[in-house]
Every structure is written in structure tokens, then in C-alpha cells.
């Protein structure tokens, strides 16, 4: 049943979208959720010995944005990078092995959960310093512009990153140079435990501020992967057309604690009621229900996707488990490029 214009738009989006795109978005959402929840379950075996920030609840943004990008487009990410890495097509085995500190990991165990990379799919890296990868994406966009390539750069960051000086410096330069870059702000309302209202003026919207700096910007519901996809797609087309940088602020919510496998609504920085209200906006479950409702993808196809991904995830953990650790003799390798030791 359609209750509002918003719902009507949603249904029309669903109907006009090809089944292959819908299936791909669903696959991304389900994969991210399954990987994150498996990590959460296994984390207390204490064999993933690195700070790990789970994306559960925030899958919609990664899935929607990355669906709008091409394989060669650059993506950079944050400490909470699993969703972006997986949505861009990053190798799952190498990601899990990385979190376990194994030589077969995507960064050979040198980076851990916060430093993922898969250059084969344009995922150029994630780092742990808030705002740290924003200028790197602009640098990649500059390289694309200098070489007259059609690749664009896309960078994911949280609401707190927009409080960093480097964010303002970068969006200003991107506007000056008309760089081919898409800025994606995931506003999940908290920076660790610090709520947004302590950090930014209550009535000021991030995307409106960025508009004021000279970059066309919109806001959207990040828990709606399809809405996110269409908003991203429009901007990606404009950027690739040479129209310059674009910015999207997407609302979402982190289900689990800032860092680690647990829930932490009991410690007092946010309420159980708030958490429950966001859980109702589950980006995966709502998308799946809609797919079933419009009957564009048969239930058995959805079931096959689920079975397939569950198998991939089991295999990835096996791969990580069976992989060797880096040899201690390699400690000094790769300090410099061109090292012979």
C-alpha cells in the first residue's frame, strides 16, 4: 500500500530499475551484513587482533553509491571501511585474512581492518585518521584530470570528518579546480560517543554548508540503497560529464559500538528507543521486503544469493585461518619502495 509521495517515488524507483541492478544492490547489502555479523560473532575468539569498526546498519550507502560507480573509478574510505571495500568489489578472502593479520591479507597483514586496499577494483585504500583520505581522493581526481581520463574519484567519510580542516581545504580546492570527485558524507549522528549536536550547530545542514562553498550538494536517506543509488548516479553522470565536484550527505545509523563486536546502548550515550527506531529502518530487510513485494526477483533467486554469500563468507574465514602469518624476517621490508632487503 502506498501511503505518501515518498512511498510512491520509492515504488516507482523500484519498478523502473532493472532486475540486474536490483539484484546487484541486494547482493552487496546482504554480503556486507553477513560479513559484518560473522566478524562480530567470531571477534570474541580474540584472533582478529586489530581495532575493527563494523558497518552493520550502514550498508545502504556503500551499496547504493558503489552501484553507481564503474570498476575503474577510485574509492577511498575511513576506519569503518568494510562496507565500502565490499561494495566496490574488494576481494573478500583478502579482507578477512587482513583482519586476521595474515600474509595473504589485502595489505599483507600490515594494515588490519582500518587499512584495506584492492587496487584491482579501484579501492585505493582506507585509513584511520578522520578526514585523512579526503584530500587523497582529490589528488586522484586531479591525476585523472591531468591525464584526461574519464575515471572519477569517490570518497566516503563520516559527519565528524566535516569538522576537520582538511575537509574544508579539500572541498575548496576541488571547487577551484573543478575536480571529478564525489564526496559522500555518511551522517550516523555520532563520532565515537560524541553526538552531532555537541559538534555542529543544530540547524545547520552539512550539505547546505557545502553548497555554500560552491559544490552542488543534496541530502538523502542512506538507509534506502535505491534512493542512494539514484542520487549518486545523477551526480556521477554530471561529474563524468566534466561538471565538477558533487557532494551527498546521507543519513544512517551505526548499530553496534563504535569499535568492536558488541552493542553499547546500555552505557548511556544514546537510547535504546533511538536505536530501535533506526533498526526499523534496516537497509537490508526493507530492501528485501520491497523486492519480494514487487515480485521482480523471485524468492528462489534471493535464496540462492543468500546461500552463495553464506558459503563465500565461510570460505573466506577458512582461507584466513589456513593462511600463514607474515614471517618475522619481513619486518623491515617495504619501508621504502625499491628496497632490496
Q: Which long-range contacts (C-beta less than 8 Å, at least 24 apart) are formed by 103-106?
A: 103/323, 103/324, 103/325, 103/326, 103/327, 104/319, 104/320, 104/323, 104/324, 105/320, 105/323
Count of CB atoms situated within 10 Å of the CB of 310: 14
Distance of alpha carbon 66 from alpha carbon 59, whole angstroms = 11
Among 2, 176, 285, 292, binds another protein (CB under 8 A): 176
Q: x-or-dash pattern for another protein, window 299-338, by CB under 8 A?
A: ----------------------------------xxxxxx
d(CA 307, CA 326): 32
User: Can you tell me which of 170, 217, 228, 252 binds another protein, judged by CB under 8 A?
Assistant: 170
To another protein, the closest distance from the beta carbon of 30 in angstroms equals 28
Q: How far is CA 264 from CA 38, 191, 233, 277, 327, in A?
A: 18, 14, 35, 16, 37
Q: Is 268 in the site for another protein (CB under 8 A)?
A: no
For residue 80, what is its C-alpha cell? 569503518
In whole angstroms, how close is the CB of 149 to another protein at the nearest point? 9
121 binds another protein (CB under 8 A): no
Of 49 and 293, the one with the shorter C-beta distance to another protein is: 49
Query: Closer CB to another protein, residue 15 or residue 147?
Result: 147
Can residue 163 be called a binding residue for another protein (CB under 8 A)? no
Which is nearer to another protein, 48 or 141 (by Cβ)? 141
Quick note: the x/- pattern for another protein over 45-74, rule CB under 8 A, is -----------------------------x
Which grid cell is 79? 576506519
219 strand-pairing partners = 249
**Which of 39, 87, 95, 117 is in the footprint of another protein by CB under 8 A?**
117
Strands 190-191 and 153-158: unpaired
For position 166 contacting another protein by CB under 8 A, the verdict is: yes
Is 93 an interacting residue with respect to another protein (CB under 8 A)?
no
Binding status of residue 111 toward another protein by CB under 8 A: yes
Among 23, 42, 108, 281, binds another protein (CB under 8 A): 108
Q: Which string of b and e fits 128-155 if b means at least 16 CB within 10 Å?
A: bebbbbbbbbbbbbbebbeeeeebbbbb
What is the pattern of x (binds another protein, CB under 8 A) and - over residues 137-156?
xxxxxxxx-xx-----x---
CA dist., res. 63 & res. 77, Å (int)? 14
By the rule CB under 8 A, 99 interacts with another protein: no
**Nearer residue to another protein within complex by CB, 165 or 201:** 165
Q: Which helix (H) or strand (E) element contains residue 191?
A: strand 190-191
Residue 306, exposed/middle/buried by CB under 10 A (0-12, 13-18, 19+)? Answer: middle
3-class state of residue 270 by DSSP: coil
Joined together, the cell numbers standing for residue 305 give: 544469493
Residue 107 makes contact with another protein by CB under 8 A: yes
Does position 212 bind another protein by CB under 8 A? no
Residues that bind another protein (CB under 8 A): 74, 76, 105-111, 115, 117, 119, 124-125, 127, 129, 132-144, 146-147, 153, 165-166, 169-170, 172-173, 176, 333-338
Amino acid at each position: 500500500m502506498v501511503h505518501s509521495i515518498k512511498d510512491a517515488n520509492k515504488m516507482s524507483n523500484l519498478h523502473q530499475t532493472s532486475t540486474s541492478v536490483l539484484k546487484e544492490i541486494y547482493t552487496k547489502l546482504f554480503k556486507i551484513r553477513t560479513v559484518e555479523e560473522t566478524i562480530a560473532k567470531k571477534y570474541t575468539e580474540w584472533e582478529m587482533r586489530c581495532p575493527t569498526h563494523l558497518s552493520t546498519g550502514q550498508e545502504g550507502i556503500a551499496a547504493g553509491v558503489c552501484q553507481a560507480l564503474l570498476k575503474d573509478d577510485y574509492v577511498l574510505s575511513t576506519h569503518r571501511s568494510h562496507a565500502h571495500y565490499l561494495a566496490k568489489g574488494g576481494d573478500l578472502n583478502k579482507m578477512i585474512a587482513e583482519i586476521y593479520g595474515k600474509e595473504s591479507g589485502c595489505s599483507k597483514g600490515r594494515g588490519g581492518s582500518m587499512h584495506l586496499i584492492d587496487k584491482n577494483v579501484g579501492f585505493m585504500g582506507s585509513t584511520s585518521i578522520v578526514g585523512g583520505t579526503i584530500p587523497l581522493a582529490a589528488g586522484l581526481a586531479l591525476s585523472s584530470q591531468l591525464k584526461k581520463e574519464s575515471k572519477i574519484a569517490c570518497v566516503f567519510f563520516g559527519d565528524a570528518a566535516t569538522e576537520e580542516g582538511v575537509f574544508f581545504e579539500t572541498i575548496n580546492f576541488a571547487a577551484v579546480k573543478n575536480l571529478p570527485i564525489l564526496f559522500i558524507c555518511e551522517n550516523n549522528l555520532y563520532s565515537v560517543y560524541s553526538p552531532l549536536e555537541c559538534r555542529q550547530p543544530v540547524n545547520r545542514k552539512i550539505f547546505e554548508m557545502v553548497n555554500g562553498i560552491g559544490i552542488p550538494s543534496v541530502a538523502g536517506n542512506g538507509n534506502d540503497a535505491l534512493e542512494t543509488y539514484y542520487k549518486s548516479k545523477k551526480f556521477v553522470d554530471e561529474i563524468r560529464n566534466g561538471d565538477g565536484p558533487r557532494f551527498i550527505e546521507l543519513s544512517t545509523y551505526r548499530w553496534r559500538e563504535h569499535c568492536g563486536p558488541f552493542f553499547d546502548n546500555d552505557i548511556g550515550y544514546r537510547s535504546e528507543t533511538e536505536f530501535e527506531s533506526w533498526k526499523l529502518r534496516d537497509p537490508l530487510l526493507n530492501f528485501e521486503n520491497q523486492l519480494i513485494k514487487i515480485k521482480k526477483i523471485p524468492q528462489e533467486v534471493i535464496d540462492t544469493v543468500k546461500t552463495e554469500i553464506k558459503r563465500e563468507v565461510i570460505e573466506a574465514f577458512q582461507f584466513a585461518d589456513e593462511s600463514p602469518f607474515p614471517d618475522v624476517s619481513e619486518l623491515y621490508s617495504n619501508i621504502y619502495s625499491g628496497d632490496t632487503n
